[in-house]
Structure 1
Amino acid sequence: MDAAGAAEPAAFRRGRRLAVDVGDARIGVASSDPDGVLATPVETVPGRDIPAAQRRLAALVGEYEPLEVVVGLPRSLNGGEGPAAAKVREFARQLAKNITPVPVRLVDERLSTVTAAQGMRASGVSAKKGRARIDQAAAVVILQNALETERVSGRPPGQCVEAAA
């Protein structure tokens, strides 16, 4: 408790995180530094072959050894969930099963692709060239937001995913 009697936020957990932006055609991946300050793009994984995508993500988890993986959950602007969110929830459950014991967390990704596209246009990347990197940029936005949320609240962002049976 601080002097005013309020509970102090827990300390920020040190460790690298990976973020995943799941799309129909491509899956963007981003990573943070071990201090959780800066998110950077990693790669774009082809998303049409789900088992192959899951294997590649498991390999990236083995390579980066993250504290956790955050997966962007697409919600409508009013916070509702549609078919895309159900698909991502299932993808995240399967990922959690494949990378146990590394936790998978779902975080709100509203407007992450829009924010990423605006940032890329502002830096002079054409729409045609940007298509291949937009998913990575969206994963960076998702991860940066998750890191900020944890830093402010003192708690891990989003909700933990239970592994698929």
Structure 2
Amino acid sequence: MGTEPSVARGRRLGVDVGSVRVGVALSDPAGVLATPLVTLAHDEAGTDLGRLVALVDEHEVVEVVVGLPRTLAGRDGPAAQTARDYAAALTARLAPRDVPVVLADERLTTVTATRTLSDRGVKGRKQRRVIDQAAAVEILQSHLDTRRASSRGTEDS
């Protein structure tokens, strides 16, 4: 688990870890566009972690991006520690596959996802069912955009 490892071209998973649900998004093979994939129930038994490993295998994922919910002041709170612990557990399960797990700042992703869903007319109970996936899309899309921008910056030098 680290920051921005050199990773091959391929699909990436975005993960939004919540206390009840885990939202998952998937990128296209070129790493340009993130789309919602699934919402998993988060449980102490680790069933959700096992399902994520299966999704990595099924979609031939080359990197997993876990959202790190930091405060607006840039500090870690209890939710950030939960995300770090989750990423560490996922890293351990993915070790035989050599698929890196990176943490990505997710400040305001749930707010942005909620606003986007509301703008599209998705409200109430329907919104609660997909908000975690939408937040995972925001986390992954931001990561993909940052990667592309930084790789363009190195090409220009």
Q: What TM-score comes out, normalization by structure 1 length?
A: 0.84
Aligned to 1:27: 22
1:90-117, Cα deviation, whole Å (9 max, x unpaired): 1100101101210000000000000000
More helix by share: 2
How many matched pairs?
Answer: 145
CA distance 1:12–1:69, shift in 2 (3 Å): closer
Provide closer, same or farther for how the CA distance between residues 148 and 12 of structure 1 changes in structure 2, counting only shifts above 3 A: farther
Matched to 1:107, the amino acid is A
* Structure-2 change in CA distance of 1:13 and 1:121 (3 Å): same
Given the alignment of the two structures, is residue 43 of structure 1 paired with residue 34 of structure 2, yes or no?
no
**Corresponding residue for 1:163?**
none
Shift of 1:154: 1.9
Are 2:91 and 2:101, in contact at CA under 8 Å, matched by a contact in 1? yes
Alignment equivalent of 1:150, drawn from 132, 143, 147? 147
What SS class does the counterpart of residue 61 from structure 2 fall into? coil
Residues 152 and 50 of structure 1: CA distance in aligned 2, closer, same or farther (over 3 Å)? farther
TM-score, normalised to structure 2's length? 0.88
Superposition CA RMSD, Å: 1.7
Are 1:141 and 2:138 counterparts?
A: yes
Q: Which runs of 5+ in 1 are unaligned?
A: 1-10, 156-165
**Shift of residue 50, structure 1, vs aligned partner:** 4.6
How far off its partner does 1:49 sit? 3.4
Give the corresponding residue for 1:59. Answer: 54
> How far 1:14 sits from its partner (Å)?
2.1
- What percent identity do the matched residue pairs reach? 54
Larger Rg: 1
Secondary structure, aligned partner of 1:68: strand
Any unmatched runs of 5+ in structure 2? Answer: 1-5, 153-157
Aligned residues of 1:12 and 1:151 also touching (Cα < 8 A): no
1:99 aligns with 2:105: no
